[in-house]
Chain A
Amino acid sequence: MGSQNLVVCRAGEGRLTIAGSGAWTADNATRLESCIDNARPNDAPRLEIDMGDVEEFDTYGAWILERLMRGDGRPRQVSLVRLPEKFHDLVEGVRRTNRSAPARPQRVVWPLALLANIGRGVEVAGAEALRLAAMVGALVALFGRALVAPRRFRLTSIVHHLDRVGVRAVPIIILITLLIGAIIAQQGFFHFRRFGADDYVVDLVGILTLREIGVLIVSIMVAGRSGSSYTAELGSMKMREEIDALRTMGRDPLEVLVLPRIIALVVALPLLTLIGAMAALIGGGIVASIYGMEPSLYVARLREVVSISDFEVGMIKAPFMALVIGLVACTEGFQVRGSAESLGARTTSSVVKAIFLVIVLDGIFAMFFSSMGM
């Protein structure tokens, strides 16, 4: 099929005859197009197209024929002969299409395009900040109303989400924080031993994990684990009009979907932080005993150097981190539009934003606590 002639050209005086043959179908479309393009640069004022020997024909062939008949802008008389009866409808059908020229995309000079991009970026960032603020406002109002009518808290839902984001996260949180504690201790021993300052490793592990690392690692884990799932859940519900269904049933999606999720997160994250901090201390202790420090000595030193305020600093931050993660995740979830791609993009952006904001918030807390003298 591939080698057979599709087009035969005969140039007569003042006229060009293009005789088609074989299969004018999709499989041959590319070859057919180039055959015809080769035949066309001929100045003959009359063009005759003979379709008598074409055996197979489909939309591709019909369109190429139609394009040939419309010509290339040069005035010429075109006639179509011996078109088999059964192909008439198809040629007729294709004739009506591609009438309007496709719209050319506007060309923009690049400095302008750059400026436009920056402008659009600022606009988007502003709109997102606004949406986040709106979400905070709506949730505060909702929380207030729920305090009056506690049934609105939806205990079952909260417990369900607590199980998902809290209980089920415990093993992975323990594993990760244990390792982090161990790594910090190992590095501490490795460097402090040269100065004979083994004892200070305990200060390092204790203060660092309780104040900063514990809550940060746990928050980042939760943002990746639960924030992403919140966004994906709400996003796919949005895509399948479930959110609209909820709204038309007279239920506020924020009350039914968002509030329980965020409350669960705010309760779960401090608990996970506590568990994580303990695991990190144990991890440090294991490494300490490997480096020859008695566990009793490790514990005694911990009690000596770590104050309750170190613990408080870590724990106070946890619910705020949870709030940020939950707010970002839910806001992003509601921003999902129809396509699968947008769901993916929103989930990514939810995790990235949540982690970024968690770290920024941590920095703000650090400044706050140091000015408070904690």
Chain B
Amino acid sequence: MKDTDAPKAIEVTDLVVEFGRNRVLDHLSLDVRTGEILGLVGASGGGKSVLLRTMLGLIRKRQGRIAIFGVDRDKATLQELQTLERRWGVLYQQGALFSSLTVFQNIEFPIREYLRTPQRLMREIANAKLEMVGLRPEDGDKLPSELSGGMTKRVALARALALDPAIAFLDEPTSGLDPIAAREFGVLIRTLQRTLGLTVFMVTHEIEALQTICDRVAALAGGRIVAIGPMPQLLEIEDPWVKSYFRGVRGAPSSAPVTP
């Protein structure tokens, strides 16, 4: 970690999360810089989603400190929390679209809740968001149950970005998409991130996404961050778990046997 001067968007220090006697996160520390895309990888069931949900305040932590834009949830006033929640957008793994609202209403929901925007402007913004994630205006009147998996992800992204947040949390944004759609989605996130100046924290398994769109990658194993850095740097790391995770990735040390 050479340049530490970029301001921190997220600071996690010494985080411990336990379910009963099962310790999922064990004194974990992680920083996300403002304006970067950080990818988080880890074994299934290894606590990636737990980390994400703890950052969002959905899971109680046992110990440690989480500050997002300098706001510490434990010490923040209700007002500060509201402001913080207004500045982040979350894409859930399953989309979590409100099933009884149409696509447009889903995207408009945060706008309606936080801003007093006239109906016409709100619809135009919602439509702009919808088209920016690659859907057509006709899709706006559909219900979530009528959408395919890829469309659901796109709508969920549009909703996450409805308020032009400063930080976006994406939980496996490309899982369940075909490679072409996943690549497109990755490019889309990259473009939006660049144009909107977003900070993105994303959990993902797609090696390609990690290589092409993430500025840095963090590897979570055994409840800690075992490695963090740009992808090429990560491939050089001697941690056994990281090595086996990235085995066979182009550019990885060829000493690892490649399974056919």
Contacts and interface: CB of A to CB of B under 8 A. Distances in A.
Interface of A: 25-27, 29-30, 33, 58-60, 63-64, 67, 86, 89-90, 93-94, 96-98, 100, 102-103, 337-342
18 contacts: A30-B116, A30-B117, A33-B121, A58-B164, A58-B196, A59-B196, A63-B125, A90-B195, A93-B195, A96-B131, A97-B127, A97-B132, A98-B128, A100-B137, A103-B138, A338-B146, A339-B144, A340-B98
A60 B196 CA distance: 11
Given A26-B115, A338-B145, A340-B99, A98 B195 contact: no
B80 interface: no
Nearest to A64: B121
A211 B137 CA distance: 61
B115 A63 contact: no
A63 B118 contact: no
A103 B116 CA distance: 24
Contacts of A64: 121
B-side interface mostly: helix
Contact of B128 (A27, A63, A103, A341): A63
Q: Is the interface of A mostly helix, strand, loop or mixed?
A: helix
B239 interface: no
Contacts of B137: 98, 100, 102
Contacts of A96: 131
Given A26-B164, A90-B196, A98-B128, 13 more contacts: A26-B111, A26-B115, A29-B121, A30-B117, A59-B128, A59-B129, A63-B125, A89-B191, A93-B191, A97-B128, A338-B146, A340-B99, A342-B100
Interface string B79-122: 00000000000000000001110000000000100011110010
Contacts of A59: 125, 128-129, 132, 161, 164, 196
A63 B125 CA distance: 7
Contacts of A97: 127-128, 130-132
Residue from the set B99, B138, B194 with the largest chain A CB neighbour count within 10 Å = B99
A67 B124 contact: yes
Interface residues of B, number: 32
A340 B191 contact: no
Contacts of A25: 164
A275 to B, nearest CB: 40
A89 B117 CA distance: 24
A106 B98 CA distance: 26
Contacts of B129: 59
B121 to A, nearest CB: 6
Closest 7 CB pairs of A and B: A338-B145, A341-B100, A339-B99, A97-B131, A58-B164, A97-B128, A89-B195
A243 to B, nearest CB: 15
B56 interface: no
Nearest to B111: A26
A98 B131 CA distance: 8
Contact of B118 (A30, A93, A342): A30
Nearest to A29: B117
A373 B65 CA distance: 81
B163 interface: yes
A59 B196 CA distance: 8
B145 A339 contact: yes
A236 B152 CA distance: 19
B123 interface: yes
Interface in B137-191: 137-138, 143-146, 161, 163-164, 191
A98 B127 contact: yes
B118 A338 contact: no
A227 B144 CA distance: 28
Contacts of A98: 124, 127-128, 131, 137
Nearest to A28: B115
